[in-house]
Homo-oligomer: A and B are copies of this chain.
Amino acid sequence: MSFKDELACRSEAFNGYLEEALSGPFDCPDILADAVRYSALAGGKRIRPVLTLEVTKIFGGNQKEVLPLALALEMIHTYSLIHDDLPEMDDDDLRRGKPTNHVVFGQAQAVLAGDALLNLAVETVLSGIPKEEENYLEAARILFHASGINGMIGGQSMDIEGGRDLNYINSHKTGALLTAAVLCGAVATLGAEAMEIEPLKRYAEAVGEAFQLVDDVLDVEGSTEELGKETGSDEKNDKITSVSLYGLDETKNRIKELQKQAHLALDTINYDTKFLADLADYICERNS
């Protein structure tokens, strides 16, 4: 099976779990449940949860036990997209090839659907605490630290403000949650002190930065059809990106450098990291 097929297969499997986790029934207005499911089940690459589950597998952990953390990651990622797309934020009408949440359900329900997904992430994590809970709870702490004011939300705040610290924005807005995705599975399985944590972190930070840079390149070079969202939005919103600061060529060189760093980090880990290596290549070389 090609790596792309393998990834699609895992995304598909994860979608089943996510659908189940969001099947309710919820004690809430239909519009809110619909809004939550609409964005969460709209597809997407599911890279974060797939990473969490793969890292768990690599180290011989229990994927079923770590699944709530993977589900929470994707719920958090989805809520952040819903809020980012709001008129007062990036004001995007298209996401994953479909009208954005607030276009379909209105702005107020979109705010609430995002809130609900973040809260559901917490409920999912708390409901899934296993008997040997110490490493799991440490992983949960890493996750919510990465998604919060010192991580993803901080990055989005600076981005919205038009802050000029590109390094802060990228490492926080995109990097923090991707790093958490990698670390969650490892910490839940091996504990926070394991020697594999440090190289995994280096791997995740390289892949996370590359992920953002490829996004920036695609926003200039990609097409709306391929991406399922509007392109050219960075320029429209006068956003600072690697492309606007350093140009396309230098950004592409940096992506290659990060790809190499990701592989070097994996080389120091004495486990089967082939899927992670392929995923780094996929992220760095994707065109959508």
Known: A126-B140, A140-B126. A157 touches B29 (CB 8 A): yes
| Residue of B whose beta carbon sits closest to that of A35 | B157
Q: Fill in one digit per residue for A126-157: 1 if any B CB lies within 8 Å of its CB, else 0.
A: 11010001000100110011011111011011
Grouping DSSP codes into helix (H, G, I), strand (E, B) and loop, the A interface class, with mixed when no group exceeds half, is: helix
Chain A residues 58 to 112 lying within 8 A of chain B, measured CB to CB, are: 79, 83, 86, 88-89, 106-109, 111-112
Instruction: Answer whether residue A166 sits at the interface, using C-beta atoms and an 8 A cutoff.
Output: no
Query: Min CB distance, A225 to chain B, in Å?
Result: 29
| Residue of B whose beta carbon sits closest to that of A155 | B28
Residues on B with beta carbons closer than 8 Å to the beta carbon of A206:
none
Residues on B with beta carbons closer than 8 Å to the beta carbon of A161:
29, 31, 109
Residues on B with beta carbons closer than 8 Å to the beta carbon of A115:
79, 83, 114-115, 118, 153
Known: A119-B144, A119-B148. A31 touches B157 (CB 8 A): yes
Give the number of residues in A that approach B within 8 Å (Cβ atoms): 50
Instruction: Answer whether residue A7 sits at the interface, using C-beta atoms and an 8 A cutoff.
Output: no
Copies in the complex: 2
B116 touches A32 (CB 8 A): no
Query: Min CB distance, A175 to chain B, in Å?
Result: 13
Instruction: Answer whether residue A120 sits at the interface, using C-beta atoms and an 8 A cutoff.
Output: yes
Q: Kindly state the separation between the CA atoms of A122 and B123 in the bound complex, as whole angstroms.
A: 10
Known: A31-B157, A115-B114, A149-B33. A122 touches B120 (CB 8 A): no
Instruction: Answer whether residue A26 sits at the interface, using C-beta atoms and an 8 A cutoff.
Output: yes
Known: A26-B149, A33-B149, A133-B133. A141 touches B154 (CB 8 A): no
Residues on B with beta carbons closer than 8 Å to the beta carbon of A158:
28-29
- Contact among B119, B137, B150 with A27 in the assembled complex (CB-CB below 8 Å): B150
Instruction: Answer whether residue A16 sits at the interface, using C-beta atoms and an 8 A cutoff.
Output: no
Known: A116-B148, A116-B149, A122-B122. A28 touches B141 (CB 8 A): no
Q: Kindly state the separation between the CA atoms of A135 and B197 in the bound complex, as whole angstroms.
A: 31
Known: A32-B154, A154-B29, A158-B29. A108 touches B89 (CB 8 A): yes
The 4 A-B pairs of least Cβ separation, nearest first, read A28-B154, A88-B107, A119-B148, A32-B157
Can you pick out 14 interface pairs between chain A and chain B where the beta carbons lie within 8 Å of each other? A26-B154, A28-B172, A29-B157, A88-B108, A88-B111, A89-B108, A89-B111, A109-B160, A109-B161, A116-B148, A116-B153, A119-B149, A120-B148, A120-B149
- Which residues of A come within 8 Å of B, CB atoms? 26-29, 31-33, 36, 79, 83, 86, 88-89, 106-109, 111-112, 114-116, 118-120, 122-123, 126-127, 129, 133, 137, 140-141, 144-145, 147-151, 153-154, 156-158, 160-161, 163, 172
